[in-house]
Structure 1
Amino acid sequence: MSTTDDSYSVPQNPDNLTQVSLKEKWWHILDTWKIGIIPLPLFVLAGLLIAVDCLGGKLPSDIVVMVATLAFFGFACGEFGKRLPVIGKMGAAAICATFIPSALVHYGLLPDVVVESTTKFYKSTNILYLYICCIIVGSIMSMNRTTLIQGFLRIFFPMLCGEVVGMVVGMGVGLALGMEPFQIFFFLILPIMAGGVGEGAIPLSIGYATLLHMDQGVALGRILPIVMLGSLTAIIIAGSLNQLGKRYPHLTGEGELMPGKNTQAAGPLTAAFSGKTDVTTIASGALLAVLLYMLGMLGHKLIGLPAPVGMLFIAVFIKLVHGVSPRLLEGSQVVYKFFQTSVTYPILFAVGVSITPWEELVHAFTFTNLLVIVSTVSALVTTGFFVGKKIGMHPIDVAIVSCCQSGQGGTGDVAILTAGNRMSLMPFAQIATRIGGAINVSLALLFLGNFLV
């Protein structure tokens, strides 16, 4: 249970406690004792109301009820992860918010009505994309223009070096364990770097079904657990990198890739929280993110570019040409901060319930698979760290972006950046996941079709 600072406090001297009114004591409880961001009394009330609905046999899947449901379970799992000894500081909150729900579903410990309503809500609303577009647009609008340009131009080199080294190391470990080269590369290494599920595992399974004459379901069943294990490894590494940054501050920009002025903690972002940004400006910032994503969807229909990537490029262009006013920038930044602090764990819970198969993850937990996966991801991230440092970037932040090359798509990026406490790196994470994954899948299938089959 977390505590927060507030504008008043109950006197610490026991002799003075009697002087504090009951009203102030209640306010103190509401403002101090929290599960995630939820005041403890409201958390208890939410749990009771959800229990009443579950006992009645129906939990509505409308947005009003689901906001309370996802917040209750998401922040409960996240708070549990934060309080675990040692690993609580290494990304356990994001891991627990995603994989505890998956395990609860598999073992039948989560009420069926909660599972059904959560799955229906998640798949019918595509709320993950609302989350991603607000995070991407807000983080881009928070960046300094010079830093933005330099970061996008330089990030590709450590990403490329990391993938090459990761593939070589993973292949070497697999061969040392006596595994077949074909199986190592196409069913272990490539799924790790494929860019997630929708953009990676599914296209790979379709390609394998066609080229290798195997059932697509069988192919997907072999690929998907590897994607999940790669993402889990990346989450743990990102959490460890965050702790490394706290111990050695000179190695990190705390969410900035390039050394220089603090472009996010100061300047416009501070102004956004100074009380000068009105509600209409914040609403406009949210609408800007949604409209840019719709433009990304249009680009996907016309040229096939993934909608989040298209939106990312459009947002960068608008930022570089001063296409929006400073007040609208502030509104976007407030929206970004809201989604970062308030929506992350509920989203991860929904992901765990709806699209994270626990049984497949457990089946892939073999000793040889784990060694190849951990060595591949570790080599990729380590290379990103040292290459980033060599070319004048903050090595820890570059390494966390490199972690996203092994992520489970957009959901993996959210979990990895949450564990690494670097949500402002979401634009670069999307490049690593979407573009990097698409290139890897395309080249691998092209090679497989022309040279091996």
Structure 2
Amino acid sequence: MNNEKQSSPSLLSRLDNFKIDGYGLVFYALIGIIFVLAVVTKALSTDILGALFTMLVVGNICYYLGGKLPIFRSYLGGGSFFALMVPATLVFFHIIPADVVLNVKTFLTTDNFLNFYIVALITSAILGMNRDMLLKATVRFLPVAIISGVVAFFTVGLVSMLIGKGFSYGALYVAFPAMGGGVGTGAVPLSKIYAAGFHGNAGTYFSHLLPAVILANIFAILGASWVSKIFKNSKYNGHGEMIPGKFEEVKTTKAEFSFTKVGVGMGVAGAIYMVGEILHKLVPSVSDFAFIIILVILVKAFGLIPKYYEESTVMFGQSVTKTTTHALLGGMGIAMVDLSVLTSSITWQFVLLVLVGIIAISLTAFFVGKLFGLYPVEAAITAGFINNSMGGTGNVSVLAACDRMGLMAFAQMGNRLCGALVLVASGLYIAFFG
């Protein structure tokens, strides 16, 4: 008879059963200590590896905590909101050094990791869709997005009049910047349009436009998270599908996975991105991402590439998004959410108008989306909340908050195309009413 007693697991092994994006707690604590030591000793490299390491350490733990803490998990957007706002708060109080912030910002913007991520997500999301579903959803989605934006614009303007700020204040400093498509493709060109129309300084106008972009993005994250939870078991919830019906997607099972196909998919996504950039150079007035979305839709609609390349691109996109989303959210919180700009511009009138815009656009998208045959929850998110987000960064954070990253194609479509219409509308508004 064997009298040996099986030894109980050690404390370290029990701690390591807690997983943070695949890392055991003990190992994660170790790399966290290494990160802190690297920052304190100024040894953290100012390159891609240093930026990625920063984003992984900060973003993963913040996303994990946000998904576990009761109030954040249930009411404040969960891990996505926590991963954005905690790093932004650490930067605001100068706990994260300026050189670390600059390195992450350079990696995301100058080195364009954010574009890399979004292109991977868009190409894989569209090529992974069923062709019939894509075409049916697209022709229904765009009218919903445009109608929702128009309703939100007039609602904000009218409420602005009621509280004594005037229609133009709500239109110019809340509605247009919130729905402009973000910072680079929204607030920046809007500031130039305002400067030309009012004969002022673009930098001054930009500082007045940015708070609406930031606050609207925060409200959009919270709103998308709440709507997806409130209607979790409702018939109005498509759980990531835009329209009702059974549609077969491009599958990438474990048996089919290969590193070669991931590399091939990266090549396909890169080629589409470059064609979009070429077209943008030829027609600068149209966003490069607008061209990219149109290209991928055409490729999918007309079956222009074989299934092997579709599967490879889907596999590549999933490899990128499943491994870097939480880190990316942390990086955006470090480099792109400026709490000092937001806090310096807060008034109750301003907050009210941004909130009114969010409610108006999402409610309109919910009900109009239902009329057009879309799932109302998905319509509210992609044609509503997303159109009040910070462009690419906002799209990622809003979709992550409601666990609908597969809708990135529609998010970008609404954000970029409707954002372009906002720029045109702002110029016309200033010309006639400014």
Normalised by the length of structure 2, the TM-score is 0.93
Cα pair 2:122 2:409 within 8 Å, conserved: yes
Pair 174,331 (structure 1): closer, same or farther in 2 beyond 3 Å? same
Cα pair 2:238 2:244 within 8 Å, conserved: yes
Pair 434,139 (structure 1): closer, same or farther in 2 beyond 3 Å? same
Q: Is residue 66 of structure 1 aligned with residue 46 of structure 2? A: no
Shift of 1:284: 0.8
Of 417, 422, 425, which residue of structure 1 is paired with 2:407?
425
User: Counterpart of 1:337 in structure 2: which amino acid?
Assistant: Q
Structure 2 equivalent of residue 10 of structure 1: none
Shift of 1:394: 0.8
Shift of 1:29: 6.3
Q: Is residue 404 of structure 1 aligned with residue 404 of structure 2? A: no
Structure 1 equivalent of residue 6 of structure 2: 18
Shift of 1:242: 1.5
Q: Is residue 339 of structure 1 aligned with residue 320 of structure 2? A: yes
Of 73, 84, 102, which residue of structure 2 is paired with 1:88?
73
Aligned-partner Cα distance in 1 for 2:95–2:143 = 46
Q: Is residue 350 of structure 1 aligned with residue 338 of structure 2? A: no
Shift of 1:322: 1.9
Alignment of 1:165-176 (within 5 A): 165-176=151-162
Structure 2 equivalent of residue 240 of structure 1: 226
Aligned-partner Cα distance in 1 for 2:395–2:408 = 7
Structure 2 equivalent of residue 434 of structure 1: 416
Specify every segment of 5 or more residues in structure 1 that has no aligned partner in the other structure, as ranges. 1-14
Aligned-partner Cα distance in 2 for 1:117–1:156 = 37
Alignment of 1:285-434 (within 5 A): 285-304=265-284, 305-401=286-382, 402-434=384-416
Cα pair 1:61 1:120 within 8 Å, conserved: no
Q: Is residue 48 of structure 1 aligned with residue 33 of structure 2? A: yes
Structure 2 equivalent of residue 135 of structure 1: 121
Shift of 1:355: 2.8
Q: Is residue 223 of structure 1 aligned with residue 209 of structure 2? A: yes
User: Counterpart of 2:28 in structure 1: which amino acid?
Assistant: F
Of 93, 98, 116, which residue of structure 1 is paired with 2:102?
116
Q: Alignment partner of 2:374: what SS?
A: coil
Shift of 1:222: 0.6
Cα pair 1:34 1:40 within 8 Å, conserved: yes
Aligned-partner Cα distance in 1 for 2:407–2:20 = 26
Aligned-partner Cα distance in 1 for 2:298–2:65 = 41
CA offsets, 1:319-368, max 9 Å, x none? 12222332332222222223332212222222222232211111233211
Shift of 1:252: 1.9
Aligned-partner Cα distance in 1 for 2:358–2:333 = 22
User: Counterpart of 1:46 in structure 2: which amino acid?
Assistant: I
Cα pair 2:190 2:426 within 8 Å, conserved: no
Structure 2 equivalent of residue 185 of structure 1: 171
Structure 2 equivalent of residue 280 of structure 1: 260
Moved more, 199-208 or 302-311: 302-311
Aligned-partner Cα distance in 2 for 1:323–1:244 = 40
Q: Alignment partner of 1:323: what SS?
A: coil
CA offsets, 1:105-157, max 9 Å, x none? 12111134422332333333110000000000010011000000011111012
Q: Alignment partner of 1:155: what SS?
A: helix
Aligned-partner Cα distance in 1 for 2:366–2:125 = 22
Cα pair 1:277 1:327 within 8 Å, conserved: no
User: Counterpart of 2:239 in structure 1: which amino acid?
Assistant: E
Aligned-partner Cα distance in 2 for 1:159–1:133 = 22
Normalised by the length of structure 1, the TM-score is 0.89
User: Counterpart of 1:440 in structure 2: which amino acid?
Assistant: V
Shift of 1:253: 1.8
Structure 2 equivalent of residue 158 of structure 1: 144
Q: Alignment partner of 1:359: what SS?
A: helix
Pair 159,139 (structure 1): closer, same or farther in 2 beyond 3 Å? same
Cα pair 2:88 2:333 within 8 Å, conserved: yes
Aligned-partner Cα distance in 2 for 1:439–1:145 = 27
Moved more, 228-237 or 61-70: 61-70
Q: Is residue 100 of structure 1 aligned with residue 81 of structure 2? A: no
Moved more, 200-209 or 102-111: 102-111
Pair 58,184 (structure 1): closer, same or farther in 2 beyond 3 Å? same
Cα pair 1:273 1:334 within 8 Å, conserved: no
Aligned-partner Cα distance in 2 for 1:29–1:134 = 35
Aligned-partner Cα distance in 2 for 1:290–1:37 = 29
Aligned-partner Cα distance in 2 for 1:359–1:123 = 20
Pair 112,161 (structure 1): closer, same or farther in 2 beyond 3 Å? closer
Aligned-partner Cα distance in 2 for 1:339–1:238 = 23
Of 224, 239, 244, which residue of structure 2 is paired with 1:254?
239
Q: How many residues align?
A: 429
User: Counterpart of 2:105 in structure 1: which amino acid?
Assistant: T
Pair 87,176 (structure 1): closer, same or farther in 2 beyond 3 Å? farther
Pair 176,326 (structure 1): closer, same or farther in 2 beyond 3 Å? same
User: Counterpart of 2:405 in structure 1: which amino acid?
Assistant: M
Q: Is residue 446 of structure 1 aligned with residue 399 of structure 2? A: no
Shift of 1:21: 8.1
Specify every segment of 5 or more residues in structure 2 that has no aligned partner in the other structure, as ranges. none
